[in-house]
Structure 1
Amino acid sequence: MKLKNYIALALFSLFAFNIQAQPGYELWLDYKEIDDNTYKEKYSPFFTDIELIGNSSTISIIKEELQLAKTGFALENLNSDSNSKLIVGIQNVLPSGIRSQINTENLGDEGYTINTLNNGKTLVISGNSDIALLYGTFGLLREIQQRNDISDLNIEEEPKIQKRVLNHWDNLDRTVERGYAGFSIWDWHLLPELIKPEYKDYARANSSIGINGTVLTNVNSNALILTPHYIEKVKALAEVFRPYGIQVYLTARFSAPIELGDLDTADPLDENVREWWKNIANEIYAEIPDFGGFLVKADSEGQPGPFQYDRTHVDGANMLAEAVAPHDGIIMWRAFVYSEEDPDDRAKQAYDQFIPYDGKFADNVLVQVKNGAIDFQPREPFHPMFGAMPDTPLMMEFQITQEYLGFSSHLVFLPKLFEEVLDEDTYAEGENSTVAKVIDGTNSNKKLTGIAGVANIGTEKNWTGHPFGQANWYGFGRLAWDPYMDSEDIAQEWLKMNFSNEEDFVKPMTDLLLESREAVVNYMTPLGLHHIMATSHHYGPGPWVDNLGRPEWNPVYYHKADKNGIGFDRTSSGSDALAQYATPIEENYSNPETTPEKYLLWFHHLPWDYEMSNDKTLWDNMALHYQKGVEQVEEMQATWKNMEQYVNKQEFEKTSKLLEIQLKEAKWWRDACLSYFQQFSEMELPAEVPEPEHNLEYYKSIDRPYAPGINPSW
């Protein structure tokens, strides 16, 4: 090898090491040394005698992971005479004496068991596939990271949702729409030759929380990703991800037959168009046999779709489904649609477009529905489609990246938001028909189930920008595996795995995480206010914006503040969006007195002096919520200041500075919004709320033209 090649290799290795040595790069897989010698002595023997049954690439990954953990935990064998053993193997190839004690019959291809047998001397991870064994390995290591007792384990786990997918809104030029953690990690220019270590580490992190699919490209898609030049690159990533149980998906631009195929139409009922898509699918599957399928955004926000040809969403989705069906592929057809040509309430439009076609989508189509009917707001009621399409598989779409929640500048624990939505009762099949039961197929025994999260991942050294942004990636994965998990349990897991098992750290920090989302709601959009952010980039307040081309792009459309009051009337006297929900919800929410206060202004336009349950006016309550949000961030700061001894210095200092930004911007939100709304209410602020530092014109003048995450094509 020439000297320059040695130098290049050395520099690349040094770069990779430096990246991986940065605090936060290892995410929740940083196997910190166990400082409890009793715990160490008890369990280190399992890591001395390990029997891995099989020789696949996934088994090799398991071996590598166990060695990483052994080294990180410092589990040297302190008791060589213990005869303890860790066995990892598919159930039907386990040693006969062990096999009879393990039952994986009902666990499918991904479920696993972890059992302690032989009076605590044998630890067994089993399942029906090597991927199940990998999930089980991560499950065992998660127990150890939390310093849980593993002397008598009897764990049986299987995912409750089949397709657990990250949606990357990454562009081919490596910009990331709504990305706040740097550029895209996919280096298309250097693929397929250069496989960066981050690709493997990305797959490892996802597999550790049960994510089994990744959509590599933006929903506002570029047809070029379907060309052989890029499929070769996608194939290289698929080969890295495959041993970790992760399928790759791509976004399909509906007009691709015109842009790439020299056709003069993309009509989904045109035979030439159908044949074109079949050929594209065949070409992709020839290179990537386990390719997952396509995610499609059509007839929304200017994206092409079947409406151009007087066709329906069913026509478009089923045409693509036909193309991938022979290869066991699926289509994820997004229901995020609204039109400037439809004067009706934007919250109603997706429901109106999709409900008539319930039961008409092909079996391999998932209709992907955002958690709420508007757009990833800090809080919004669950999307009414979840209670109204019993014969169509609906796929939940959450946003992990914080488009409307302060980007990666603000600490917001989103599993609390996810849990709130999943626990909502749709009443679709009577009481206790929760959203979680809709998406996991419990209510209708659907054959295909799925959940997606819009990723918050980029080239930042800690992947997510904010150190606590990792918790949202982690929490999404855990809830995708089991949508009935408690967000408090997720918070505690993540804190213990990342920082410390000390109760004096875990308890206050769990409280901080669980309270953080409510703080953001309070200082941004209390009492059901929504979409009042500055437009385009959605960073900071902009309730005054009223000059954009489409009504529903303007914040004034959503709050409708005037001298008579504030709020969007979605009852029968207004847009009647409430009629899209089941009768118990419609009846309860039609009356402001029985509407949950958290949704009050989502469904009602009320006078400023409307008296609420605490005998204070609507105006006073709104102002006090804004003030409470500021105070909650101050409490978060105070809690964090006491945590310095438990965390890495660099992460402590970065989080401290980010909390300073969050507090400054919480005050900005409070002062700007109250200044604007006060001109309509003409009421004094409560004594507990300080007067805004500046006048309204000052807040209106604040501009953020280079806020991150804006699609460069806009």
Structure 2
Amino acid sequence: MSSAVIALLLFVGSARAEDGHSLWMRYVPVEPVLAATYRAQLSDIVAPDATPTQRAARAELERGLAGLLGKSPRMHADASRYSVILGTPRSSNVIAALHGEIDALGQDGYVLKRVQHDGRSVLVVAGQRDIGVLYGVFHLLRLLQTGAALDRLDVHESPPVPLRVLDHWDNLDGHVERGYAGRSLWDWQSLPEWKDPRYTDYARANASLGINGTVLNNVNASAWSLAPAYIEKTAALAEVFRPYGIRVFLSARFSAPIELGGLKTADPLDPAVQRWWRDRVADIYARIPDFGGFLVKANSEGQPGPQDYGRSHADGANLLADALAPHGGVVMWRAFVYAHDVPADRATQAYTEFAGLDGAFHPNVIVQVKNGPIDFQPREPFHPLFGAMPRTPLMLEFQLTKEYLGFATHLVYLGPLFEEVLRADTRRHGAGPTVAETLAGIAGVANIGSDRTWTGSHFDQANWYAFGRLAWNPQASARDIAADWAAMTFSPDPAVVQPIVGMMMGSREAAVNYMTPLGLHHLMARGHHYGPGPWVDGGPRADWTSVYYHRADRDGIGFDRTASGSNAVAQYSPDVAATYADVAKVPEPLLLWFHHVPWDHRMPSGRTLWDELVSRYSLGVRQVKAMQATWATLAPPPANADAPASATEPAPVTEPALATERSPVERGSAPLTGSIDPQRHAQVAAYLQIQLREAQWWRDASIAYFQSISGRPLPPGEPAPPHPLAYYEALQFPSAPGDGR
């Protein structure tokens, strides 16, 4: 056999071609010495199998160990000799001895712990309920995938946020609004008879992160989602998800009593309307006894709602809450609203409509608030409602599908964005609370579809993953989460993990730079939001245009939200408002969000605002080039190479200022291969090329437009856009993904 063939076989064994379908649950073999250690520690496993969730936990552990260790463990429902015990205090006397520390962790919590029993060390995976055990199994498999030591394991996990939900913007016809990963995952036509195996894999992936709810349909809801035929279909999905601790929710159309019930009104104070909702909810629970409840978008973007009848948001939410309360359901009532009349500042409207209703909502209503006051922008300040409604449960809504961040083709890791919001200090009562400490729930607008990768690209899987990990533990590190994801998704080899984490941690800042630097926002093209459109003006609403937000003129740029402008700063606590309102104190990344600033304003860098703005656009392009260079170092060796090549030193990537401590995965041990399988490497490389082309487009089009407003020359060394402004303004994209049919 030739040396080239031997090298190829070695390479195929160490860097398999993959399509991304397995997500972070690939369970590929670990390094042989480590596998031998793990096999000795995990040889005999006692795992009950009396309930669907117990069987799911047992099957997942068996699947994971068989893949990671190359050998299936010996699984027992009961045994006299064992090295691992799964269960609850009710299923095992060994676990019962730990009931105090298990009970302290709540219904979703779990313990991974070595204990001494009959003179030997036993690994316990235990929870108060079966679902906690399943969560613990996934944590154990994560430790094995990332090469952690099990000798002195002592893990206690408990989520502080009880409701952790994915919101799918899927329509009944299979179209996904703002979806960039193919058609809807739910095949309503073949349900309830056919339950696609992908539904189980979806449930497994969510359970691996502790996600415990899913909203199946678009917030721009069709009333037919509540029709009996579709409830039967929803019940089939609930049956698949139930063993994995996932409750199904539905977006409810407020006018459903008219469209489905034949009533003349949907007035929340009308007795017939109240009766219709009670009856419909009772019918749902008869088919889905653990139904989670409703998500509602009302009186926003043309959706029907209680204000159509002169009623408040609280009146509308309480109508549904009363129908759901006897069954244990909740209403997630979205605070993303804006009036038919364009306000002086769109950013202020949600606070204006909701803050005064604090305490008016029934206990099973959760007000769902976007992370920022506009609409999932590359960077926004935290929403002023956080900390402003202490008597109302609040839910934070993130967007995983990157509507304003390059769709699926731009590598933008959202972990730093999530972390930035969750740790923001609302300072309503002195020091704190943080946004995370105000929450009863966290929702993520899903980026999942029928695409083989689930999310439209390999790196967009990381945003689903990071959302779940941070929903479970809002204090977790986005960097550590990125390291875990990279290790499980590509390779635990530090020569792979370290450069990938560097790319990920710098990617969001790169996108902000080439799209909306220094606090600019909503500069995307009209409607589909694909590409730059800082010139967008006119149309049915001023606040659907870019010029409404950047307000650039001959003198300067930015939206004045101080007392001399819209006074949006007054919606924050006095401490926060004082910082945001002072042009000398406001964080530079939010400067133009809160202030209209002269072009010649001197920035901390010493440059004028105009020069700084241009340099940020160019920096974003260079940061994408740096990601390309880093990714190139991870390319697989050619098939005729004598041996698999190890990675060279990665190119530097500009990152936001974060702690420099590396996670255990990043520190790691000796390199393994230092390369990525050819199939995934090629796709990511192609997408990075798309990102570079579009980042350059953003830079050139934006500079061309703002230079036409400012009248200032480009800074020395900055190349002029290759086309005149009219060229960029004339570009049309009638088939942009995620919008239209």
TM-score class, shorter-chain normalisation, is over 0.9
Q: Residue deviations 1:311-358, cap 9 Å, x none?
A: 000000000000000000000000000123143210000000001110
- Paired letter, 1:23: D
Query: How far off is 1:23 after superposition?
Result: 1.8
- Does the alignment pair 1:520 with 2:511? yes
- Paired letter, 2:517: P
- Does the alignment pair 1:649 with 2:640? no
**Which of 442, 447, 467 matches 1:476?**
467
CA distance in 2: counterparts of 1:652 and 1:88, whole angstroms: 38
CA distance in 2: counterparts of 1:432 and 1:224, whole angstroms: 43
Query: How far off is 1:683 after superposition?
Result: 1.0
Query: How far off is 1:86 after superposition?
Result: 1.0
1:703 maps to which residue? Answer: 732
Taking structure 1 as reference, are residues 96 and 697 closer, same or farther at Cα in structure 2, changes over 3 Å only?
A: closer
CA distance in 2: counterparts of 1:472 and 1:590, whole angstroms: 32
2:689 maps to which residue? Answer: 660
The worse-fitting range, judged by mean Cα deviation, of 605-614 and 146-155 is 605-614
- Does the alignment pair 1:58 with 2:53? yes
2:166 maps to which residue? Answer: 166
1:582 maps to which residue? Answer: 573
Q: How does 1:484-563 map to 2 (within 5 A)?
A: 484-563=475-554
1:690 maps to which residue? Answer: 719
1:11 maps to which residue? Answer: none
1:237 maps to which residue? Answer: 237
**Which of 66, 73, 86 matches 1:88?**
86
- Asked if 2 retains the 8 angstrom alpha-carbon contact of 1:348 and 1:373, the reply is yes
Q: Secondary structure at the match of 1:237?
A: helix
1:620 maps to which residue? Answer: 611
2:38 maps to which residue? Answer: 43
CA distance in 1: counterparts of 2:604 and 2:405, whole angstroms: 28
Q: Secondary structure at the match of 1:402?
A: coil
Taking structure 1 as reference, are residues 424 and 91 closer, same or farther at Cα in structure 2, changes over 3 Å only?
A: same
- Asked if 2 retains the 8 angstrom alpha-carbon contact of 1:110 and 1:132, the reply is yes
Q: Secondary structure at the match of 1:250?
A: strand
The worse-fitting range, judged by mean Cα deviation, of 325-334 and 603-612 is 603-612
2:246 maps to which residue? Answer: 246
CA distance in 1: counterparts of 2:615 and 2:404, whole angstroms: 21
TM-score of the aligned structures, taking structure 1 as reference length = 0.93
Query: How far off is 1:359 after superposition?
Result: 0.9
CA distance in 1: counterparts of 2:589 and 2:292, whole angstroms: 39
- Asked if 1 retains the 8 angstrom alpha-carbon contact of 2:18 and 2:677, the reply is no
The worse-fitting range, judged by mean Cα deviation, of 60-69 and 221-230 is 60-69
- Paired letter, 2:65: K
- Asked if 2 retains the 8 angstrom alpha-carbon contact of 1:91 and 1:103, the reply is no
Q: How does 1:131-280 map to 2 (within 5 A)?
A: 131-280=131-280
- Paired letter, 2:48: I
CA distance in 2: counterparts of 1:97 and 1:126, whole angstroms: 7
1:399 maps to which residue? Answer: 399
The worse-fitting range, judged by mean Cα deviation, of 580-589 and 527-536 is 580-589
What RMSD in Å do the two structures reach over aligned CA positions? 1.8
1:410 maps to which residue? Answer: 410
- Paired letter, 1:652: H
2:13 maps to which residue? Answer: none
- Asked if 2 retains the 8 angstrom alpha-carbon contact of 1:394 and 1:438, the reply is yes
2:26 maps to which residue? Answer: 30
- Paired letter, 1:674: I
Taking structure 1 as reference, are residues 536 and 97 closer, same or farther at Cα in structure 2, changes over 3 Å only?
A: closer
CA distance in 1: counterparts of 2:468 and 2:157, whole angstroms: 14
CA distance in 2: counterparts of 1:475 and 1:237, whole angstroms: 24
1:15 maps to which residue? Answer: none
2:387 maps to which residue? Answer: 387
Q: Secondary structure at the match of 2:348?
A: helix
2:311 maps to which residue? Answer: 311
2:555 maps to which residue? Answer: 564
CA distance in 2: counterparts of 1:32 and 1:406, whole angstroms: 31
CA distance in 2: counterparts of 1:675 and 1:103, whole angstroms: 62
Structure 1 unaligned blocks of 5 or more: 1-19, 440-448
CA distance in 1: counterparts of 2:569 and 2:135, whole angstroms: 42
Query: How far off is 1:83 after superposition?
Result: 6.6
CA distance in 2: counterparts of 1:95 and 1:348, whole angstroms: 57
- Asked if 2 retains the 8 angstrom alpha-carbon contact of 1:45 and 1:77, the reply is no
- Asked if 2 retains the 8 angstrom alpha-carbon contact of 1:382 and 1:424, the reply is yes
CA distance in 2: counterparts of 1:362 and 1:429, whole angstroms: 24
- Asked if 2 retains the 8 angstrom alpha-carbon contact of 1:120 and 1:152, the reply is no
2:651 maps to which residue? Answer: none
**Which of 53, 58, 68 matches 1:73?**
68
CA distance in 1: counterparts of 2:135 and 2:725, whole angstroms: 54
CA distance in 2: counterparts of 1:504 and 1:156, whole angstroms: 30
- Asked if 2 retains the 8 angstrom alpha-carbon contact of 1:45 and 1:79, the reply is no
Q: Residue deviations 1:540-577, cap 9 Å, x none?
A: 00010102110100110000111011100000000000
- Asked if 2 retains the 8 angstrom alpha-carbon contact of 1:34 and 1:74, the reply is yes
Query: How far off is 1:102 after superposition?
Result: 7.1
CA distance in 2: counterparts of 1:567 and 1:63, whole angstroms: 56
- Asked if 2 retains the 8 angstrom alpha-carbon contact of 1:93 and 1:99, the reply is no
Q: Secondary structure at the match of 2:417?
A: helix
- Asked if 1 retains the 8 angstrom alpha-carbon contact of 2:43 and 2:73, the reply is no
CA distance in 2: counterparts of 1:186 and 1:291, whole angstroms: 17
The worse-fitting range, judged by mean Cα deviation, of 43-52 and 612-621 is 43-52
2:653 maps to which residue? Answer: none
**Which of 678, 691, 701 matches 2:707?**
678
Q: Which has more helix, going by share of residues? A: 1
Q: Secondary structure at the match of 1:91?
A: coil
CA distance in 2: counterparts of 1:567 and 1:157, whole angstroms: 44
Q: Secondary structure at the match of 1:203?
A: helix
Taking structure 1 as reference, are residues 433 and 694 closer, same or farther at Cα in structure 2, changes over 3 Å only?
A: same
CA distance in 2: counterparts of 1:73 and 1:265, whole angstroms: 59
- Asked if 2 retains the 8 angstrom alpha-carbon contact of 1:44 and 1:77, the reply is no
Q: Secondary structure at the match of 2:556?
A: coil
Taking structure 1 as reference, are residues 78 and 268 closer, same or farther at Cα in structure 2, changes over 3 Å only?
A: closer
- Paired letter, 2:23: L
- Asked if 1 retains the 8 angstrom alpha-carbon contact of 2:53 and 2:134, the reply is yes
- Paired letter, 1:314: A
Q: Residue deviations 1:59-110, cap 9 Å, x none?
A: 1111211121122113438999x97611101023313487358731212211
Q: Secondary structure at the match of 2:241?
A: helix
Q: Residue deviations 1:152-197, cap 9 Å, x none?
A: 1010001111110000000000000000000001000000011101
Query: How far off is 1:256 after superposition?
Result: 0.5
- Paired letter, 1:29: M
Query: How far off is 1:45 after superposition?
Result: 3.0
Taking structure 1 as reference, are residues 148 and 102 closer, same or farther at Cα in structure 2, changes over 3 Å only?
A: farther
1:108 maps to which residue? Answer: 106
Query: How far off is 1:121 after superposition?
Result: 3.0
1:8 maps to which residue? Answer: none
- Asked if 2 retains the 8 angstrom alpha-carbon contact of 1:44 and 1:75, the reply is no
Query: How far off is 1:402 after superposition?
Result: 0.2
Query: How far off is 1:511 after superposition?
Result: 1.2
Query: How far off is 1:587 after superposition?
Result: 1.2
- Asked if 2 retains the 8 angstrom alpha-carbon contact of 1:120 and 1:151, the reply is no
- Asked if 2 retains the 8 angstrom alpha-carbon contact of 1:534 and 1:545, the reply is yes
- Asked if 1 retains the 8 angstrom alpha-carbon contact of 2:43 and 2:74, the reply is no
- Paired letter, 1:89: G
1:430 maps to which residue? Answer: 430
Structure 2 unaligned blocks of 5 or more: 1-15, 637-674
Q: Secondary structure at the match of 1:184?
A: coil
